[in-house]
């Protein structure tokens, strides 16, 4: 069956879509408008036009799991954080539950449950992620939540750690998050699990075992 990728045009989403396509993992990239379509078409990746701020039920048809990698981005205000990171995520979870989707894979944020400890400008984002994670846990949809640390644009090493307490740094490359997502998508046995993710020294498949 097929995996719907919500947030496919984002920095993690694009890298994940490319990796999945190269690995022959069937995916459908959900994009907001036709201006985003060319990049996916050039690579032979299926797309569906749908908007998280509208009715996007049709995007789910024919898919049995969902990757939610959407984010409002650092240059938008709290209004978009509410609409994308909170409302969009809650709507996607509710649709997955109503349609009987087999698994929901959420890209969240490390320490999303410690909202008041985040810098002031990040608190709306962390609060949205915290609420979305809680909604997913309470839903009847099987899930995996990945909680990356501070994101960088470094190249993939495909080596990470989930041991935050003993990590040398609080960073992880978007490329490594994309590789971790691919590992989770392919490992259908992973359910009701949550992983903090940082760059580290352990192979991804072993770290997520």
What is the Cα–Cα distance from 200 to 158, expressed in whole angstroms? 9
> 81 pairs with which residues across the strands?
none
Active-site hit among 61, 87, 125, 143: 125
Angle between helix 123-138 and helix 89-99 axes, rounded to 10 deg:
10
Q: How many residues does the chain have?
A: 209
First to last CA, the chain: 23
Give one DSSP letter per residue of 117-168, joined into a string.
GS-GGGHHHHHHHHHHHHHHHHSSS-EEEEEE-EEE-PPP-SEEE--GGG-S
Is 143 a known active-site residue? no
Catalytic residues: 125
């Amino acid at each position: 069956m097929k995996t719907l990728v919500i947030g496919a045009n984002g920095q993690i989403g694009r890298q994940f879509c490319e990796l999945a396509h190269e690995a022959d993992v069937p995916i459908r990239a959900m994009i907001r408008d036709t201006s985003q379509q060319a990049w996916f078409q050039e690579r032979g990746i299926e797309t569906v036009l749908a908007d998280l701020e509208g009715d996007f039920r049709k995007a789910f048809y024919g898919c049995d799991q969902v990757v939610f990698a959407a984010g409002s981005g650092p240059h938008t205000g709290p209004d978009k954080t509410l609409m994308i990171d909170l409302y969009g995520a809650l709507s996607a979870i509710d649709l997955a539950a109503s349609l009987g989707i087999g698994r929901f894979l959420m890209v969240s944020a490390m320490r999303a449950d410690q909202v008041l400890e985040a810098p002031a400008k990040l608190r709306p984002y962390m609060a949205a992620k915290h609420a979305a994670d809680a909604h997913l846990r309470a839903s009847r949809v099987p899930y995996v939540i990945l909680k990356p640390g501070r994101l960088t644009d470094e190249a993939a090493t495909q080596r990470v750690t989930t041991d935050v307490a003993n990590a040398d740094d609080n960073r992880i490359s978007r490329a490594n998050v994309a590789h971790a997502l691919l590992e989770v998508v392919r490992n259908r046995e992973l359910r009701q699990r949550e992983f903090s993710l940082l760059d580290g020294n352990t192979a991804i498949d072993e770290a997520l075992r």
